[in-house]
Amino acid sequence: MRAFGFQQHGSLDKLRLMDLPDPHPGPGEVRVAMRVAGLNHLDLFTLEGIPGINVPLPHVLAGDGSGIVDEVGDGVDRSLIGQKTLVDPSLSDGTCEWCRKGQENFCQDYRIVGEHTNGTAADYAIIPQANAVPLPERLDWEAGGGVGLVFMTAWRALRTVGELREGDRVAIIGAGGGLVTAAIQIARHTGARVTVATRSREKGDRALDLGADEVVVHSREQPLSKSLWEASEKKGFDVIFDSTGKATFALSARALARGGRLVFCGGTTGSIVEIDLRGLFWRGASLRGSTMATRKEFREVLSLLADGSLHPVVDRVFPLEEGAQAMERFSQGDIFGKVLLRIRP
Ligand SMILES: [Zn+2]
């Protein structure tokens, strides 16, 4: 089969379209004949090599995707064959203490499709039966192929970890990636007042179209912390969602309200930050890490995609053969929404 990934960790020049043996599902697994795979920033981290995670090489990238189940392993109901499927990228053992409490994202053996295991950017992907989610009717292959990771992550970060409620002021840092296009819509759906901070006026306009109430464009002359503070009428934000990390984190934190929560994940510009604690404890503010989501949270956000309350935003679709160009576009960061790979028509 054709598979997009790498045989050696490194930078973008290590990306390859590879020819690998067709895989077959083991017990409890299904094979998905992929239609669309969705790229995430995580794929860049996986390509570089994440300390502590040893993936067998060659490695197939991408955790999101849509396709049709075409083969099932032992113990899986054969009626699943033919099911239009959306890939849930969260892998958990289902048996540990955390899984038994319904907190699968804290599983002691937590893994992500395409990060720890071969991913969806291939003619076929093997996933546990439980990760083959019926594709909601409203979503086509492209819409379904890019929603999993970003919508589940934004949902948990804002709703569960950030405790975002109707009427809260929320600031979302950045306006282009798939994660923030999901976060803007989720914050809006929650009934919060949504401010988006970006360096790009054009992306800011598109954020308004997605439901942001207000956009602040920051720059060297108009720093992020000052822009946010003024936008909040000098009260600060109840919740700030920052997936950018190093470039913005300390500045975001200065715009928290009393009791405010800075929710973070990703750290796409770097993960080592320096921050002034005095401003935080004085206001009783907190920093809260978040990643991925539980199965229950994923079902909740999926139901809102299924009924049309939330919409996947697609930046561009590349053929599988142009995976390297897709990753390059992605790495440059000048995107709005999801970058996808079309595997079959
Ligand atoms: Zn577990």
Residue 89 identity: P
Tell me the CA–centroid distance for residue 94 and ligand 1, in Å. 5
Instruction: Give 342's strand partners.
Output: 36, 319
- Residue 84 reports pLDDT greater than 90: yes
Give the span between the Cα atoms of 63 and 31, in whole angstroms.
14
Cα–ligand 1 centroid distance for 97 (angstroms): 6
Q: How far is the CA of 293 from the centre of ligand 1 (A)?
A: 13
For 177, which DSSP code? B
* Gap from CA of 101 to ligand 1 centroid (Å): 9
Q: Which residues pair with 4 in a beta bridge?
A: 17
Which domains are seen in the chain, by residue range? 2-147+312-342 (3.90.180.10), 151-289 (3.90.180.10)
194 to 216, 253, 294: CA distances (angstroms): 11, 17, 25
| Secondary structure of 137-148 as H, E, C letters | CCCCHHHHHCCH
DSSP strand pairing (15-19 vs 314-319): unpaired
pLDDT one-digit tens code per residue, 16-49: 999 999 999 999 999 999 999 999 989 999 999 9
- Residue 192 confidence (pLDDT) above 90: yes
Confidence of residue 203 (pLDDT cuts 50, 70, 90): very high
Residue 332: predicted pLDDT: 86
Q: What is the mean pLDDT of residues 143-149?
A: 94
CA of 292 to the centre of ligand 1 (A): 14
- How far is CA 88 from each of CA 55, 62, 113, 133, rounded to the nearest angstrom? 19, 12, 8, 7
Ligand 1 center from residue 53 Cα (angstroms): 18
- Say how many Å lie between the CA of residue 90 and the centre of ligand 1: 11
Q: How confident is the model at residue 176 (pLDDT cuts 50, 70, 90)?
A: confident
Expressed in angstroms and rounded, the spacing between residue 265 Cα and the centre of ligand 1 is 21
pLDDT at 334: 86
pLDDT tens digits, residue range 50-66? 888 888 899 999 999 99
Q: Is the pLDDT of residue 9 over 90?
A: yes
pTM of the model: 0.95
State in Å: Cα 93 to ligand 1 middle. Answer: 4
Per-residue CA distances from 335 to 178, 183, 314, 320, 328 (Å): 9, 16, 9, 18, 11
Residue 331 pLDDT exceeds 90: no
Q: How far is ligand 1, taken at its centre, from the CA of residue 294, in Å?
A: 11
Distance 41 CA to ligand 1 centre (A): 25
Of 67, 89, 81, 34, the closest CA to residue 139 belongs to 67
Residue 186 confidence class, pLDDT cut points 50, 70, 90: very high
Highest mean pLDDT among 245-259, 283-297, 322-336: 283-297
Amino acid at position 285, single letter: A
pLDDT value, residue 280: 94
CB within 5 A of ion ligand 1: which residues?
92-93, 96, 99, 107
pLDDT of residue 104: 96
pLDDT at 157: 98
Q: Which residue in 18, 40, 59, 4 sits closest to 340, CA to CA?
A: 40
Sign of CA dihedral 138, 142, 144, 150: negative
Average pLDDT over residues 291-317: 96
Average pLDDT value over all residues in the chain: 95
**The residue type at 246:** K
CA 102 to ligand 1 center in whole angstroms: 9
Give the pLDDT mean for 256-273.
92
Interval between CA 100 and ligand 1 midpoint (Å): 7
Which pLDDT band holds residue 330 (cuts at 50, 70, 90)? confident
Quick one: how far is CA 12 from the chain centroid? 20
